[in-house]
Amino acid sequence: MAGRGKIPRPTVKRLSLYLRELENQSTAGQTTINSRQLGDALDLTDAQVRKDLAYFGQFGHPGIGYQVLDLIAELRRILGTDHPWHAVVVGAGNIGRAVTRYGRLGGKGFEIAGIFDSDPEIIGEAVDRHRVRPMEDLAGVVGEQDVKIGLLAVPAEDAQLVAEALVAAGVRGILNFAPRRLVLKPGVPIVSVDLTVSLEQLAFAISLTEDGAIDG
Ligand code: NAI
């Protein structure tokens, strides 16, 4: 199998899309799927699907396609979500609480180990099955529960310092909701989620269709 580091980023992104689609198919009772069906569901060519999966070895059987459950297991293994990942949330505001309450993360292999905040007014409040904990508890929870992921949901001006605190506590990668570019030591992956950027992209795409510049 090729080293994970050499897999193109767009391919890795598509693996998550394949996995989600396969989980939907499995829920709908589908047991096998071929690359054309999988590609059609995601607006991709069957060649693209085969090329992406070929990075990781030979799956599927000529004429039959892929066993849905086998491919789900394989994709989870490749993505590293075949074992639970523990994550902490820092910032118990709107975003932090919404993520912590989102019950389906567990089913996708991500367990929230704790939610933290610096505001003494809200420390101790219940969020789902958690109580908001003080920042002083962060390193202990990260160490005890082998937490590898930090979800950063604090205001932009606090994001850099909190990200550094997460890394110092031992987390290995950060999902950043704050609209601020983080600078961390090499080897700490950061993935940023920004609704505004997505909405701007959508607004731009809609404007183009309204101008008649592109088709649907
Ligand atoms: P919020 O104001 O409701 O909550 C922020 C929480 O962070 C507060 O409870 C505050 O006490 C806590 N906090 C502040 N400084 C801290 C520190 N140094 N250590 C620990 N906790 C600290 O904010 P909201 O609405 O939940 O937004 C959170 C972040 O997400 C903001 O940066 C916001 O701009 C961003 N955001 C991102 C979106 C996205 O699509 N990624 C969408 C909306 C907001």
Domain presence at residue 185: yes
Mutate to test the pocket of ligand 1, among 89, 95, 180 (most ligand atoms within 8 A of CB): 95
123 lines ligand 1 (CB under 6 A): no
Query: 60 CB under 6 A from ligand 1?
Result: no
Question: Is residue 71 assigned to a domain?
Answer: yes
Closest atom of ligand 1 relative to the 198 alpha carbon:
40
- Residue 159 pLDDT: 98
Alpha-carbon 46 to chain mean position: 25
99 and 34 within one domain: no
pLDDT at 175 over 70: yes
> Are 178 and 154 in contact, with CB atoms under 8 Å apart?
yes
- Give the phi and the psi of residue 66 in degrees, each rounded to 5: -105, 145
CB of residue 119 inside a 6 A radius of ligand 1: yes
Same structural domain, 133 and 178: yes
Number of domain units in the chain: 2
pLDDT at 5: 56
Q: Tell whether 160 and 181 lie within a shared domain.
A: yes
Percent of the chain with pLDDT over 70: 95
Q: What is the mean pLDDT of residues 139-149?
A: 97
3-state secondary structure of 113: strand
* Start-to-end C-alpha separation, the chain: 39
Q: Which domain holds residue 183?
A: 87-196
> Does 211 fall in a domain?
no
Mean pLDDT over 122-131 rounds to 97
Q: Check whether 216 has a pLDDT greater than 60.
A: no
Residue in the block written with tokens 């909701």: 177
Q: Are residues 110 and 157 in the same domain?
A: yes
| pLDDT tier, 2 (very low <50, low <70, confident <90, very high otherwise) | very low
Same domain, 48 and 99: no
At 177, give phi and psi (nearest 5°): -90, -15
- Which residue's alpha carbon is at the smallest distance from atom 18 of ligand 1? 158
41 and 22 assigned to the same domain: yes
pLDDT over 90 percentage in the chain: 76
CATH classification at residue 172 = 3.40.50.720
Q: Average of pLDDT values for 50-57? A: 87
Look at residue 214 in the predicted model and tell me its pLDDT: 56
| Residue 126 and residue 101 share a domain | yes
> Over 80: is that where the pLDDT of 184 sits?
yes
pLDDT of residue 187: 93
The bridge status of strand 32-33 relative to strand 66-67 is antiparallel
Instruction: Say if residue 106 is in the same domain as residue 51.
Output: no
Q: Is residue 161 domain-resident?
A: yes
| β-strands 85-90, 110-117 pairing | parallel
Residue 210 lies in a domain: no
